[in-house]
Amino acid sequence: DLLVSEAIRNKSWESLDAAGLAAMAAALVYEPRRDDEGFEPRVPKGIFQGVVEQTQQLWEDLEFLSKKHKLPRSSKIELDLCYPIYRWATGAKLDLVLDSADLLPGDFIRWCKQIIDLLEQISRAATGGLSVNAKDAIDKVRRGIVAYSYYA
């Protein structure tokens, strides 16, 4: 994905810890089933909001260029799953995460697998601390029922 490549190139995610990087990956892969106009999703505290704003600006720049050159547009950044994934990556229990995510366990597992896939791509494309954080984020997301689902 071009946005991921640009964020890596610009070092936009270097300041995120593993759980924050997992939350960012969630923002990039998640596609909500319904449109909650006016709903402001909860996001992790600290630097995450600033990193989201920087990533959003990258997305807007890429969208402008895509439109200008009549290229296909990319999906918007969706923050709805960021906080639940952040909580999961920091060790929260599944029932608490599912309550905050308003997802069924199967849907949560499916999204986690997509997040892990993106984190694996980031770990291979990035260098240094970002690559290490991506690998750590994979371990933090692939636990419990998510880890079990790979073997079931």
Q: In this predicted model, what pLDDT tens digit does every residue of 19-37 receive, in sequence order?
A: 999 999 999 999 987 665 5
Region 2-30+42-149: CATH code: 1.10.3380.30
- pLDDT for 73 equals 78
Task: Determine the Cα–Cα distance for residues 40 and 27; give it in Å rounded to an integer.
Answer: 14
Which among 148, 146, 149, 125 is positioned nearest to 135, based on CA atoms?
125
What pTM, to 2 d.p., does this model score? 0.93
- pLDDT for 54 equals 97
Task: Determine the Cα–Cα distance for residues 139 and 89; give it in Å rounded to an integer.
Answer: 8
The single-letter DSSP state of residue 43 is -
Domain limits of the chain?
2-30+42-149
